[in-house]
């Protein structure tokens, strides 16, 4: 018999699931809209995924398989719906992938069916997370995620050292998934790997992040680009760094590609994350850059500073002062939905358009890389604005 608490808790959860999510009118930057509430949290996870509903086996209606966080989703526009593959982290620290679907992309998200599974071809894989979804020109939908295992070279007392690699799966319907071999690259560690949505010189193209250690990039120089001839035997022989880490910038410690780049008339628009170290720990922000339409490894525009950073309550969570994005959707109206997690805890969305992303990426000044250069850059803006205000007879 179903426990009587189920109906009570389900009614309360339904209020959350059906809540509208209005634009946050207190925030304005002209680039994108923020929204009042997260689009997904651990409280959105279905009750029957967490509780044993049987009153006989669970008389106190205890949560048997709790969920700690819902974050870092891959995203795809599929049959007119906004679909997220959510990193759903249990209380045991293990992450699983779960589908959540919305009709409008900003609210009404509901988890579907059950967590995703596929053939277990890698018994050493302990954890998996941060899937990027890509509709490729070959007709398949690919998911590229971080596959993590214990470092076999670690000392016996070291139970935290890990090795990360890029794992691949693919599907035609988001229901049946085929596990492919892990991507092989010259780097000992790989995270934040993304498949380019089109062939490049007849080959599959990947954005990688070469690094020497699980946390430290070491000699890895930033976001790299590599080509692969056979997706069923995915090997990249050469990684070429295309977007370097730089001293005293938002990405001086490390950076990585977010979702697959967005195609525009002027170039591929990339959303990436940059990391710097602070006295309070690592700070993750998002930034954009553009690459050439015919040579997606060549950067042609890069605004200075961050595109999006933790805002108000987004600053706190399991890993505070962090935003991370690995999912974005462009619908048939060229509206852009950028899904990001705050502090490894919950999922938000900002909305913009392809036109605005292009304007921001190509017309926002680049980082001058020195404080005096930044001061001069700002003085130029002030002087131009003062001249305009004077010509219009508007007092400052």
* pLDDT for the residue numbered 289: 98
Q: What is the pLDDT of residues 110-134, one digit of tens each?
A: 999 999 999 999 999 999 999 999 9
d(CA 284, CA 318): 14
* pLDDT for the residue numbered 220: 64
* pLDDT for the residue numbered 343: 98
Q: What is the pLDDT of residues 289-320, one digit of tens each?
A: 999 999 999 999 999 999 999 999 999 999 99
User: What global pTM score does this model have?
Assistant: 0.96
What stretches in the chain show pLDDT beneath 50?
none
* pLDDT for the residue numbered 395: 87
């Amino acid at each position: 018999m179903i426990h009587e608490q189920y109906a009570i808790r389900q009614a309360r959860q339904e209020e959350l699931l059906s809540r509208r999510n209005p634009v946050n009118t207190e925030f304005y930057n002209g680039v994108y809209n923020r929204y009042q509430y997260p689009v997904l949290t651990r409280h959105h996870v279905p009750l029957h995924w967490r509780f044993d509903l049987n009153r006989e086996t669970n008389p106190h209606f205890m949560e048997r398989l709790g969920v700690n966080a819902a974050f870092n989703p891959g995203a795809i526009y599929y049959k007119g719906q906004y679909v997220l593959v959510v990193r759903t982290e249990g209380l045991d620290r293990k992450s699983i992938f779960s589908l959540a679907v919305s009709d409008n992309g900003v609210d009404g998200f509901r988890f579907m069916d059950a967590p995703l599974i596929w053939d277990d071809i890698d018994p050493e894989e302990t954890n998996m997370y941060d899937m990027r979804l890509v509709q490729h020109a070959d007709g398949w939908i690919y998911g590229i995620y971080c596959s993590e295992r214990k470092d076999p070279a670690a000392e016996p007392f070291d139970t935290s050292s890990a090795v990360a690699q890029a794992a691949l799966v693919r599907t035609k319907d988001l229901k049946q998934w085929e596990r492919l071999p892990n991507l092989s690259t010259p780097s000992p560690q790989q995270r934040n790997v993304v498949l380019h949505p089109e062939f490049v010189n007849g080959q599959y193209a990947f954005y990688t992040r070469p690094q020497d250690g699980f946390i430290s990039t070491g000699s890895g120089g930033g976001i790299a680009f590599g080509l692969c001839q056979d997706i069923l035997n995915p090997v990249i022989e050469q990684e070429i760094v295309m977007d370097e880490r730089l001293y005293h910038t938002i990405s001086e410690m490390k950076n990585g590609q977010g979702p697959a780049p967005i195609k525009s008339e002027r170039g591929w628009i990339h959303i990436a994350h940059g990391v710097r170290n602070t006295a309070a720990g690592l700070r993750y922000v998002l930034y954009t850059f553009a690459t050439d339409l015919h040579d997606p490894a060549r950067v042609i525009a890069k605004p200075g500073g961050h595109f999006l950073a933790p805002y108000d309550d987004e600053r706190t969570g399991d890993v505070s002062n962090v935003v991370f994005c690995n999912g974005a959707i462009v619908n048939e109206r060229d509206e852009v939905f950028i899904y990001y997690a705050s502090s490894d805890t919950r999922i938000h969305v900002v909305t913009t358009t392809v036109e605005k992303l292009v304007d921001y990426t190509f017309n926002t000044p680049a980082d001058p890389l020195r404080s005096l250069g930044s001061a001069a850059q700002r003085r130029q803006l002030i002087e131009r604005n003062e001249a305009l205000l004077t010509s219009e007879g508007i007092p400052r």
